[in-house]
Amino acid sequence: MDKEAVEKPTINRAKFATSLGVLAATLGSAVGLGNIWKFPYLAGSNGGAAFLLVYIVCMLLIGIPVMVTELTLGRVARSNAIATMQKLAPKGQPWWLIGAAGVLSAFLIMAFYSEVAAWVFAYIIKAIQGGILSTDPEVTKSAFNGLVTDPTQSLIWQWIDLAIVGFIILLGVNKGIEGATKKLMPILLILLIVVGIRSITLPGAGEGLAFLFQPDFGKLTAASFLIAMGLAFFKLSVGMGTMITYGSYFRDDQDIPGTAFRVAFSDLAVSLLAGIAIFPAVFAFGYEPNAGPSLLFLTIPSVFASMPLGNVFMVIFFILTFIASIGAQISLVEVPVAFLEEKFHLSRKVASISTVVAIAVFGALAALSNSLLADVKLLGMTFFDLFDYTTSNILLPLGGLFIAIFISWVWGKKKITAALTNDGKLANTWIVNVLYGTLLVVTPILVTIVLLNGLKIIQ
Ligand code: PFF
C-alpha cells in the first residue's frame, strides 16, 4: 500500500461540514427515482411483504456492508473512486478497475436516469398547465407518447435537468451537494407524507396496502432474488464508487456503520411511504398497478384526476419526485467530476461542465430510445433498457462483489477495525466484527450465487 498517500491526505480537500449534512447528502444519494419508480412496483409484483423480506436480507447482508466498505475506503484515501483503489491496493494489482467501472456506471445510469427525471420535470410544468389531468387513458397516453416520441422535447428536457444538476455540482461539495440536500430532503419528506395521507384516506385504499404488504411467497421466483439484490445496490447507490467518493468527504469522527444503517433504513422508509402514497390511490380508483414509466406517467395522472383537488396533489407529487431525483443525480455526477478534478487538476467549473456535457451527448442514446433510436436494439433491449438492466443487475453487483473481497481479503481486519472504530474512539467492536465476517464470507458468496442464478448461468 502507498502508505504516505494514505497518511497524508490531500490538503484543502472539501469535507461535509456537519453530521446532518453527511446524512442529508448520503441519504439524498440513496433516495431517488428508485423509491418511487422502481421499489413499490417491484415489491408489489414480486410478492409484497415476501419480497420486502428478501430485500431487507439483501440490504443487511450485501447493501449495508458494501456501503460501509465504500465509505471507509473513501475516507481513508480521501480521493476519488479510481485513486482510492490505486492508493489502497498493493502495488501492481489492478483494483483501480473497480473505480473505473464505477465511472462508467455513473455515465450509464445518468444516461437513462436523467431522461426519467426530465420527463418528471416536464410533467411538473404540464401538471401546472393542466393538460395531463384526465381519467381518459387516451388523453394520458397521448400526452406521454407525445413527450417521449418527440426527439426534440426528449433532448431539451434532459438538457434542462442536466443544467440544474450541473449547477448544483458546480457550487461544490459544501455549498452545492451538502447545501442542496439539506434543504431538499425535509421538503421531500413533508410532501411525501402529504400525498401519503391523501392516498390512504381514500375509500377502498386497503387493497393497495395489501398489494404492498401482504406476503405472497408463491410470487417469489429465482428472478425475484436477482431483482431484490439489484434493487439493493441501485437503491443504496453502492457498487460503483459513489459512496467511495462521498466517504472521501466524511469527517474523521463520523460513525460510518451508524450512518450506513441510518441511511439504509431511512431509505427503506421512504420507499414504503412512496408505496403508501401510490398504491392505495391506484386501487381506490380501480387502476392496474403497472410497471415503471407507465405507472408514473399514465396511471398517476389518472389517479389524481379522479380525486378532489387532484391537480394540486399531482403538482406536489411530481415536484417531490423531481426533488428525490436531484440528490441521486448529483451523487452520480460527482463520481466523474471528483476524478477529473483530481486526476487532471481541472477546476471544479471545468470538471462539472465537461462531465455534464459528456452525459448529455451519451444520454442522447437513452433520450432517443423511444423515437429516433426505437428500433436500435442490443440483446433485445433499447439503449434505455440496456443501460438500466446492465447497471442494476450486472455492473453494480460485480462492483460490490470485488469491493467486498478487496476490503476483507486484501486490506484486512486490522485496518478495517482501526478505520471503523475511528482508531478505537467508537465502542462498536462487535458491529465491526460482524461486518468483517459478513464481508469476508457472506456477501461474496451471496452475490455470486444470486448473480449466476439470476443470469441463468447456474440453475
Ligand atoms: N439510489 C438512487 C435511486 O434509488 O434512485 C439511484 C442511484 C444513485 C444509483 C446513485 C446509483 C448511484 F450511484
Say yes or no: CB of residue 332 within 6 Å of ligand 1.
yes
Gap from CA of 103 to ligand 1 centroid (Å): 13
Helix/strand/coil for 71: helix
Say yes or no: CB of residue 248 within 6 Å of ligand 1.
no
The ligand 1 atom nearest the CA atom of 39: 4
* Residue-range domains of the chain with CATH: 19-454 (1.10.4160.10)
Eight-class DSSP state of 178: I
Instruction: Return the closest-CA partner of residue 48 out of 184, 211, 204.
Output: 211
pTM of the model: 0.94
- Residue 82: the pLDDT is 98
* Protein residue with its CA nearest to atom 11 in ligand 1: 237
- Of 29, 42, 245, 246, the residue with max ligand 1 atoms within 8 A of its CB, to mutate for a pocket test, comes to 29
Residue numbers in the chain where pLDDT is lower than 70 = 1-12, 291-292, 456-459
Gap from CA of 231 to ligand 1 centroid (Å): 10
Quote the cell numbers at residue 243.
Answer: 459512496
Gap from CA of 327 to ligand 1 centroid (Å): 9
Instruction: Return the closest-CA partner of residue 97 out of 401, 338, 393, 387.
Output: 401
Say yes or no: CB of residue 109 within 6 Å of ligand 1.
yes
- Of 330, 332, 392, the residue with max ligand 1 atoms within 8 A of its CB, to mutate for a pocket test, comes to 332
Alpha carbon distance 191, 274 (integer Å): 11
- Residue 259: the pLDDT is 97
Contact 211, 44 (CB under 8 A): yes
Contact 236, 67 (CB under 8 A): yes
Contact 337, 352 (CB under 8 A): yes
Residues 418-450 as b or e (16 or more Cβ within 10 Å = b): ebbbbeeebebeebbeebbebbbebbbebbeeb
pLDDT in tens, 174-227: 999 999 999 999 999 999 999 999 899 998 899 999 989 999 999 898 888 889
Say yes or no: CB of residue 67 within 6 Å of ligand 1.
no
Contact 262, 255 (CB under 8 A): no
- Residue 456: the pLDDT is 66
Contact 450, 397 (CB under 8 A): yes
Say yes or no: CB of residue 34 within 6 Å of ligand 1.
yes
Alpha carbon distance 151, 309 (integer Å): 33
Say yes or no: CB of residue 245 within 6 Å of ligand 1.
no
